[in-house]
């Protein structure tokens, strides 16, 4: 826990993600990444020199999932829990019968999250993207779009006034997996019909295969993102590349 909170704190400081008095909503889907984010942010608020509050927001997609384990985890962490019920799943899969549903689903979920933040008076949204997500998104953009691009550590959504932050960018996926499993935190089964059958999964496998030949591939890509040509990724603090933890 201490090591992971330290990595999160360094990421938060490098990108100036949190200001005193921030009210941060955590998007909690019930997957391992969002659960780890929730736990680590709840822990960080105890020691961070900039006081902030944390609230959990879960978007119920209308796919029949039981979120009571997440609600109990929030109670244990002393974090307010908000369940937002929607019909996003039925709209996309039953009514529209989308052949490529991921883009629309992402937009609708993000819209529901942003509206929930506005309704609750929260000013920041924390998302559970980690180190590997950043590398894979960069490769996806390069291969599928022909662009050198990635999501930003901090994104100011001008139309809503909400700021998105990604505090786990210095933490590797395998570290997240180990942390959640070792501590027995609840992880929900994703009931999305296209789960694990997406372009992102193809890129994840590609990066995994290439890493067998080039072990430092992820570190080189991440380091390149922090230099150029992605100026938003240049850390404000003195950065030392995080090594993968066991």
CATH number of the domain enclosing 164 = 3.40.50.620
Q: Is residue 137 part of a domain?
A: yes
The pLDDT score that the predictor gives to residue 246 is: 42
In angstroms, rounded to a whole number, what is the distance separating the alpha carbons of residues 61 and 86?
5
Domain count for the chain, please give it: 1
Q: Is residue 139 part of a domain?
A: yes
The pLDDT score that the predictor gives to residue 207 is: 94
Q: Is residue 245 part of a domain?
A: no
For residue 156, what are the domain limits? 2-233
Nearest CA to 102 out of 30, 175, 202 is that of 202
Q: Is residue 242 part of a domain?
A: no
Chain segment 188-237, per-residue pLDDT in tens: 987 776 666 678 889 999 999 999 999 999 999 998 888 765 667 877 65
Under a CB-based contact definition with an 8 Å cutoff, are residues 52 and 18 in contact?
Answer: yes
Q: Is residue 241 part of a domain?
A: no
The pLDDT score that the predictor gives to residue 228 is: 63
Q: Is residue 246 part of a domain?
A: no
Q: Is residue 135 part of a domain?
A: yes
The pLDDT score that the predictor gives to residue 239 is: 47
In angstroms, rounded to a whole number, what is the distance separating the alpha carbons of residues 170 and 166?
10
pLDDT under 70 in the chain at which residues?
A: 97-99, 193-197, 228-231, 236-246
Q: Is residue 44 part of a domain?
A: yes
Long-range CB contacts (within 8 A, 24+) of 3-8:
3/245, 4/36, 4/40, 4/171, 4/175, 4/179, 5/40, 5/43, 5/44, 5/47, 7/170, 7/171, 7/242, 8/40, 8/41, 8/44, 8/167, 8/168, 8/170, 8/171
């Amino acid at each position: 826990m201490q090591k992971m909170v330290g990595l999160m704190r360094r990421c938060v400081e490098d990108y100036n993600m949190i200001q005193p008095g921030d009210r941060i909503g955590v998007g909690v889907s019930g997957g391992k990444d969002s659960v780890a984010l929730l736990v680590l942010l709840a822990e960080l608020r105890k020691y961070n020199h900039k006081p902030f509050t944390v609230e959990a927001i879960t978007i119920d997609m209308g796919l029949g999932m039981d979120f009571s384990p997440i609600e109990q985890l929030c109670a244990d962490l002393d974090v307010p829990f908000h369940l937002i019920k929607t019909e996003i799943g039925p709209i996309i899969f039953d009514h529209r019968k989308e052949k490529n549903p991921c883009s629309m689903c992402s937009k609708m979920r993000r819209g529901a999250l942003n509206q929930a933040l506005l309704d609750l008076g929260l000013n920041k949204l924390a998302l559970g993207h980690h180190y590997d997500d950043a590398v894979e998104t960069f490769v996806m953009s390069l291969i599928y779009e022909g662009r050198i691009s990635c999501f930003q550590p901090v994104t100011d959504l001008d139309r809503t006034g909400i700021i998105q932050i990604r505090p786990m960018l210095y933490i590797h996926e395998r570290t997240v997996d180990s942390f959640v499993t070792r501590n027995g935190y609840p992880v929900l089964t994703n009931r999305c019909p296209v789960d694990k059958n997406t372009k992102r999964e193809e890129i994840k496998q590609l990066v995994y295969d290439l890493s067998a030949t080039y072990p430092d591939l992820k570190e080189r890509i991440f380091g390149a993102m922090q230099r150029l040509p992605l100026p938003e990724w240049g850390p404000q603090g003195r950065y030392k590349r995080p090594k993968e933890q066991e």
